Amino acid sequence: MIKLTTPISDEEIRALKAGDTVLLSGVIVTGRDTAHKFLIEHFIKNSVSAEEKPFHDELKRLFDGGVIYHCGPVVKKNDDGSWTFVAAGPTTSIREEVYQADVIRYFNLKGVIGKGGMKERTLQACVQQPAVYFHAIGGAASLIARSVKEVLAVHKLEFGVPEAMWVIRVEDFPVVVTMDSHGTSIHDTVEAQSKEKLAKLLA
């Protein structure tokens, strides 16, 4: 089991191989469809407005060597105004394929957490950056929430709780590297093997 803490260095990323199991600690940020679309439209493809610059600069700091988590959490607001994650399962990542490579490069991300894997454009960004895709366990939302030790901030709550960008501190968050910085994707391998077996069955 490999232990990593954000921010993660290029050397640590390059040392990872598809199939490695990792316990991730440190600060990570959640982001789903609405968040990715916002990042592209407001920061990456267009000039940053004066109104959004503080948020932009904060994300540049958080994401530099950091990790984004495809997650729509279930949260509870405490009496003191703080938040607690009740469930924190991964969201299917493929919906972010159209955005992810640009987000990885612009913000110097080193990791993406989700489920189901991603495709060639994201894989190439992982090779070039370098970065990796961490697969989290689907169906284990309550278990994963135990790894979330603190909610540090929430941005864009107007998007709704699942789509907001939650800044969280995690300890020993269990993930598996399924797309590495050397161009290996377990998801592609499984898909190819499945197609081969299906063709034999149908022959």
Active site residues per annotation: 36
Q: Which residues contact 43 (CB under 8 A, 6 or more apart)?
A: 52, 56, 59, 106
Residue identified by tokens 């081969």 is 196
In degrees, rounded to 5, the angle at the alpha carbon of residue 40 between the alpha carbons of residues 191 and 139 is: 45
Phi, psi of 24 (to 5 degrees): -100, 130
The beta strands (E) that lie in the chain are given as: 2-5, 21-30, 67-69, 74-77, 83-87, 111-114, 132-135, 148-155, 165-179
Phi, psi of 151 (to 5 degrees): -95, 115
87 residue type, one letter: A
